[in-house]
Structure 1
C-alpha cells in the first residue's frame, strides 16, 4: 500500500491529514482519550511535549552561522503581526469600543475577538508547513514568534494597564529546546544527522495531537460569522505577512504559513476580561469566534500555503530568465 504517497498528494498532507483525523475523532467522540487512557489518552493532549522534541531535532540542523537569519525572520513576522493587531485594535476600537455588536449579521463580533484571532500564530502548524515547504531557518523563526503566545500581546494591543509584562521564564522556555538542539548539532555532526532526520517523522504525531484540540462543532456554533472571521484573519494576515516575508528575502510562503490563529488564543478573551472588566460582555462571544478562527485557519492554511509555494517555485525560474 502506498499510504505515505497517497497522504502526500494532499497539500501539506503529512500535517493536514492527521490534523483533520484528530479533529474528526475529537468532534465525534470527545472523550475518546479519557476512555482509552494510558499512551493513547496522552496522545490526545500531547502536542506540546512532541513539539518540544521537534524543536530539539529541528534546532540540531541549524548551524550557528544561520542564527541571524532565524532572528531576522522571526522578528519580522512577529513585528508584522503585532502591528496588524494594533491597527485592527485602533480601527475597530474607534468603531466598536470594548463592547460587542448586539444586533444584525455581525452580532457578537468585537474588537477583542478580532485582535485575539490576529495576534497569536499556530506555531505547530507553522513549523510543520515550513519544514515541508520552507527552510530550517524559516521553521526555527517561530522560536522568536512564540512571544505572541498567550494574552500578553493582546493585552498590550488593547492597552490593559499594569499587565503589559511577560515572564522571563516563559520567554526562555519558548526557545530553550531549539537552543539545546542547536548546541548539540553544532558540537557533534553525528548528532545533527541523527536528530535532524527524526524531525519529519514527528510532524504527523503532533499534527494529530493538535487536531484533537479542534472541535468542529465550534465552527457550527459560531455560524457564518465565525467562518467569515477565520477567512478574514487568514487572508488579511497573509497579505501583510507575504509582503514582509518578501522584504526580508523570502518568497512569501512563511508569511502564508504564519497567517493562522493558535489554539490557546481561544482562552485569551476570558483572560483579558478578567484583567479588564470592560471586556466582560465581549468575552463569551469572542471565545467562540476565536475558537472558530482557530479551526478555520488551521484547516485552510496548509492548502493556501501549498498553493502559494507551488506558485512561487514555478514563478522563480521565469523571473530568472527575464
Structure 2
C-alpha cells in the first residue's frame, strides 16, 4: 500500500503533535458540537477523556527524569529552571494584581489573563531545546533539560497563582497535580527498564489528550485569543530569552543555552484546562488561555531557533571540553 507521510506533515507544523489535534478537536466541537453524543462509546470518550490521558502522560514523563545529575547539569539546568519560574511568578504577581482570575473581557486584549501568561512562560519546549543544543551547544547542556523538565505540568502554575494572591488550591489538589510525575520518577529511577518503557509511551499520548482538550473549545468564542497568541509568543521569547541569556552567561555559558530555553512547551497548552478543573474560578480564563498558549507554542518554535542561531553567531558556540561525554541526557525529550 502506498504510504502517506502523515506524521511528517503534522510535525512540519511547530508543536504539531499538540497543536494539530487540539485544533482538530476545536473545529469539530465548533461546527459539529453533538458529535460525542451521536457516536457515544469509545468515540465519544475521545472527546472528553483528555484528563485521564494527561495523568498517564505525566507518569510516563516523570519516568524519563533522571535524578542523578552531574554538578554542571544541576547548575545549568537549575539556573535556567529557576529563572524561568521566577519570571512567570513576577508576571503572575503583577497581572494578578490588575486582572485577578478573570480574563480581559473586551477590547483588543480580550482573552488575556494571568493564567495564560503564566502557563506560556512556565514550561520549556524540551525537544526544541535539545535539538538546538545538539547543533549549537554541548552534550552536557542537553543534559540540563533533565532538570528543566520539572517545569512540566500544572503544579508550578498553581504555586505561581497562589503567590500572586489569586484563588488558591487545596493542598490535596496541589499534591495531586504533581503526584503522577513523582510516581513516574520513582518508577523510572528504581528501574531503568521502566524508564525506557514508559518514556517511549509518552510521545504517543500527546495527540490524544490534545484532541480531548481541543474538543472542549469553541473557536467562534476564542478566535481573538489566537491572534493575541502571536504577541504572547513574541513576549515569551523577548522577556524570558533576555533573562535566560544573562543567567546563562553568568553561569559560564555563551548565552546560547539560555535563549534556546525561551520557548513554550506544547503540553503547556493543557495546563489551563487542568487548572480550571481544579478550581472553577479559572473556567472563564481557561478557554482563551488554551488557544493563547497553543499559539505561543507555534510562535516560539519559529522564533527561538532564529534567535539561538543569531546568539551563536554573535557570541560563539561553546566547545566540548577534552574527554567530555554526554551526561544526564534524558532518554526521551517531550515537546
- Scaled by the length of structure 1, the TM-score of the pair is 0.70
Whichever structure has more helix as a proportion of its residues is 1
Match among 65, 79, 82 for residue 86 of structure 2: 79
Q: Which segments of 5 or more consecutive residues in structure 1 lack a partner in the other structure?
A: 273-285
Shift of the 269–114 alpha-carbon distance from structure 1 to 2, 3 Å rule, reads: farther
Residues 312, 236 of structure 1: alpha-carbon distance in 2 compared, 3 angstrom cutoff: closer
Q: 1:191 to 1:36 in 2, by over 3 A?
A: same
Deviation at 1:292, TM superposition (A): 3.1
How far is the alpha carbon of 1:89 from its aligned partner? 4.6
Matches within 5 A, 1:193-272: 193-220=196-223, 226=225, 229-249=228-248, 250-257=257-264, 262-263=272-273, 271=281
1:311 is aligned to 2:306: yes
- 1:141 aligned onto 2:151: yes
Among candidates 302, 315, 320, match of residue 297 of structure 2: 302
How large is the Cα RMSD of the aligned pairs? 4.0
Instruction: Show the 5 A alignment for 1:103-142.
Output: 106=107, 114-121=113-120, 126=123, 129-131=125-127, 133-134=129-130, 135-142=145-152
Q: Give the Cα separation in 2 of the matches to 1:9 and 1:65.
A: 34
Between the two proteins, the alignment pairs up a number of residues equal to 285
Instruction: Give the 3 Å change call, closer, same or farther, for CA 247–106 of structure 1 in structure 2.
Output: same
Of residues 34, 38, 52, the one that matches 1:35 is 38
Q: Does 1:64 align with 2:67?
A: yes
Aligned equivalents of 1:194, 1:101: Cα separation in 2:
44
Any conservation in 2 of the 1:120–1:265 contact (CA below 8 Å)? no
Q: Identify the residue that residue 179 of structure 1 maps to in structure 2.
A: 182
